[in-house]
Structure 1
Amino acid sequence: MEEEKKQQKEWKVPHTFVIVFFIVALAAISTYFVPVGQFETEEITYGESGAESTRTVLIPESFSFVTDGEGDFVYLGTSLFEAGGGVGFLNYVFEGLVSGDKWGSAVGVVAFILIIGGAFGIILRTRAVEEGILRVIDKTQGRDVLIIPVMFFLFSLGGAVFGMGEEAIAFAIILVPIMIRLGYDAITGILITYVATQIGFATSWMNPFSVAIAQGIADIPVLSGALFRVIMWAVFTIIGIIFTWHYASRIKKDPQRSPSYKSDAFFRKEAEKFAHLASNFTLGHALVIGTLVAGIIWIIWGVIEHAYFIPEIATQFFTIGLIAGIIGVIFKLNAMRVDDIADSFIEGAKDLLPAALIVGMAKGIVIILGGDSPDMPSILNTMLYGAGQLIGDFPAMLSAVFMYGFQSVFNFFVVSGSGQAALTMPLMAPLADIAGVSRQVAVLAFQLGDGLTNIFVPTSAALLGTLGVARLDWGVWAKFIFKFLLLLMALSCIFIVIAVLIGL
């Protein structure tokens, strides 16, 4: 009885949809108090991998507050509802979902998540993954703990080399059930996939989607300062492995200590269906797994060699799922028929629908604030300008740390690495000169701020997609990961200070 009362008194973390709703409400209220501003923009050209790249960036000294005919500041003043495709408070879900294009948030990422879900729905229907899991368990008895450091290292390397992020969603579909089957939990699966990619992303020496663009905009040699960043990546990755290994070991001893224990019940129930079965890994299953592996290699090759992004990667995953379905029908895996390919695609997409919806809802926050375009009136531009004015008043070392703090906060609104670079680096680079900080350090502050908070902010499409795969609410995840994020942020400040001291 007392236990029941205690459980009733425990504060339940609100659903992610509820959290985003209240954040949108705060954003809407702020539109009545924060004036809007805008910058002028220009095209810049910089070298990247032996080729010329261009970006549209803001002109730092061009900021101006938007005023009306009488010279008074203009406020967005979000209304409750707007007709004709306007942006009102209650429009945020639809407007967020249809914003952007196929290359990014939100509509492109929403489609990406649904297609990945559908493709893996087909793959899972073949039962090749379950049979593979049983085979892995058979082969790794007593050595399964090695999976954690090896996977964490590989995903961190993927984040560092080619900016792996959204791709972690697909891997989590496979690795979360494996981790639970091996006695760990969904959080362990998220740590070795998505969190590892973001640690690599944040500390990368060659990420084409953040470091290369930021250095090009800052007018310093692209991919310079690599040795310092390689050392930084190694340190962060080792700390991530130690944290994950320590956490996973505790959970394996007592699974009920896991914050995801309740939500993991779905995966445990699925595992129980096959617990009494021995591995029956056939040629058909091997061909499906082989198709998946070959497809992942194809994706990695495309990203590195041809800069494939959301449209191409989504189509590649669809192709993988289609081929897996055809193999399943030919070999009659799990009694598959042709219609099962379509049905399982629908089921897989349906499982990731909440993750897709939250991407649009989160994008609604930015839309309510006026968008993230530097040459359009918005509150974000005013925030960017205000932060820039403060930086010049601090000593060099403090300015560098403040840059990192600002980039971390700004990442809540603009999660895209390339988008944040285009918005902030044209302002931060010249301000770094004024504050006595090298532009290389300004880029370092950008990449750390842009990458690490991706493991926490509810506006990150990749994070929410991964949590959706793991059936874990953002609130539960945020409560768990917050302390580790603080550790990573403290370590980031140490590396930034070292960079200033050695004159990076």
Structure 2
Amino acid sequence: MPQRKWEMPHTFIIIFFVVILAGLLTYMVPMGIFETEEVTYESQGTEHTRTVLIPETFEYVTDEQGEPVRDGVSLFEPFGEAGFLNYVFEGMVSGDKWGSAVGVVAFILIIGGAFGIIMRTKSIDQGILTVIDKTKGRESLIIPVMFFFFSLGGAVFGMGEEAIAFAIILIPLVIALGYDAITGVMITYVATQIGFATSWMNPFGVAIAQGVSDVPVLSGAPFRIGMWAVFTAAGIIYTMWYASKVKRDPRASYSIKANEYFRKHNQQQELKRSFTLGDTLVVLTLVLGIVWIIWGVIQDAYFIPEIATQFFTIGIVAGVIGVIFKLNNMRVNDIAESFSEGAQQLLPAALVVGMAKGIIIILGGDAADEPSVLNTMLYHAGGMIDNLPEILSASFILIFQSVINFFVVSGSGQAALTMPLIAPLSDIAGVSRQIAVLGFQLGDGLTNIIVPTSAALMGTLGAARIDWGTWFRFIIIFQLLMFGLAFVFVIIAVLINFS
């Protein structure tokens, strides 16, 4: 009898077991709490305010006998409270429209719906066929060019969730050019996170970390620009090496099932019709819409609510054009049906966001001024920096931020939660606060490439039809390479006293 091949557990299963681990921690680790304060800092000429913890105010939550409280999570809680079995619902409805989880869930579903409408017109498919026809012999250029620009987007304005939309467009294209779905994820989402991790001006990451750490905002740019160039070059070389291997032998791909899905889709779209005026208007709507989104993010700091609405608008306009010009025989009802189908395709990714947020809820939440197991973990992990040599202290900050990013994926949230604790401890360890910020941004950004709790990653993988287990098997080697480079730059920063 043949042995059954081992399969990586489904993402839902992985998160379920992490929730079990979080539940067990609530019985072993006492809850802690910090006092908080408001800090202000300037970024790009604008004054910003963040609520941050005060490290020296940490204390355990105690009972009437003065003993630390280990308030183990119950199996089920009524009346809107959070028990173990409540983690999915409570995770889904937690937060607000500005972030995880409910805002990101809505964002992913609206993006999926909008692109469902756009793809229903078949204009993008016709555009892909046109691009293939025009780029014969030069198709490999799409990898370095797209990787560079997406990395730049991550570095300049913190591009992340927006990569989901671009993946929907570019993955069918790279597969039609002879590559695979993983190549599409690399040149879109992974590139943005390399830019995010090595940025010199990202307003949602390094700028906040510097501001709350009392480091001049946007300082240290020359070092970080050089670091960004090295990481981006490494990402391009690795992606081109993998993509060329897949093009030579499609069996070398890690995403064979996804590739087959898109190939069948592409074959169905090879229609015997020309690229019409209606197709041109749909593509132009998408291009102008993306310009509008980029302008809004850079000029007015548009975030999840605004960007979701912008994509919805793009979808509606594309649908109206499709009906007027009868693209792919579109009718008015097709706009609604394709929106529903598009949202349905990204539903699993949206569910992951809520489930992942449930992990934090089981641990007591990520608010520093409310009792939680996470606060205790933060305090004791931060204290380990004190007695280490400088290089080890700086390396530990990188590791610490990488681990915390599994639980608190938001770059701005993680900066506000951890940097007020890490920055003063780095002073004691003899490590400059600039290096502490460097460890934060590398640990935060690079782990977004692999952690299943990242909403943007899971949304992009959903668009690519790749399950997280398949992605893990591919990305782990690249992830280790990125961490190796990160440690090199942290050590260089210590040796040159980067400040």
TM-score under structure 2 length normalisation: 0.99
CA RMSD of aligned residues (A): 1.0
* Residue number in structure 2 paired with 1:229: 224
How far is 1:274 from its partner?
3.2
1:132 aligns with one of 127, 150, 162: 127
Is structure 2 residue 445 aligned with structure 1 residue 451?
yes
Specify the alignment match of 2:370 in structure 1. Answer: 376
Supply the AA of the counterpart residue of 2:144. Answer: P
3-state SS, counterpart of residue 39 of structure 1: strand
Q: CA deviation at 1:272?
A: 2.1
Deviation at 1:268, TM superposition (A): 1.5
**2:64, 2:106 → 1: CA distance?**
43
What does 1:6-405 align with in structure 2 at a 5 Å threshold? 8-275=3-270, 277=271, 280-405=274-399
1:387 Cα offset (Å)? 1.1
Question: TM-score with structure 1 length normalisation?
Answer: 0.98
d(CA) in 1 for partners of 2:403, 2:335: 43
Q: Tell me the distance in 2 between the aligned counterparts of 1:157 and 1:65.
A: 43
What letter is aligned with 2:48? S
Q: Distance in 2 between matches of 1:274 and 1:309?
A: 34
1:7-40 C-alpha deviation (Å, 9 max, x unpaired): x522111111111111111111111111110100
Identity of aligned residues (%): 71
Whole-Å separation in 2 of the counterparts to 1:236 and 1:340: 44
User: C-alpha displacement at 1:447, in angstroms?
Assistant: 0.4
**1:184 CA displacement:** 0.9
Q: What are the ranges of 5 or more consecutive residues in structure 1 without an aligned counterpart?
A: none
Contact in 1 for aligned 2:122/2:269 (Cα 8 Å): no
Counterpart CA distance in 2 for 1:227 and 1:66 is 45
Q: Which amino acid aligns with 1:313?
A: I
SS, match of residue 431 in structure 1:
helix
> How far apart, CA to CA, are the structure 2 residues paired with 1:285 and 1:500?
54
Q: Secondary structure at the match of 2:201?
A: coil
Aligned residue for 1:263, secondary structure, equals: helix
Other structure's SS at 1:292 match: helix
Q: Which runs of 4+ in 1 moved over 3 A?
A: none
> Does the alignment pair 1:430 with 2:407?
no
- The one-letter code matched in structure 2 to 1:393 is N
CA contact (8 A) 1:134 1:278 kept: no
AA at the equivalent of 1:257: A
Q: In structure 2, what is the Cα distance between the partners aligned to 1:295 and 1:263?
A: 28
Question: Counterpart of 2:400?
Answer: 406
Does structure 1 retain, via aligned residues, the 8 Å contact 2:126–2:269?
A: no
Q: d(CA) in 1 for partners of 2:226 and 2:427? A: 25
Shift of 1:72: 1.2
Offset of 1:79 from its aligned partner? Answer: 1.2
The letter of the residue matching 1:414 is V
Q: What SS is found at the alignment partner of 1:135?
A: helix
Q: CA–CA distance in 1 between the matches of 2:99 and 2:304? A: 7
Structure 2 counterpart SS, 1:64: strand
- CA deviation map 1:321-352 (0-9, x unaligned): 01001111111101111111111111111111
Paired residues, number: 498
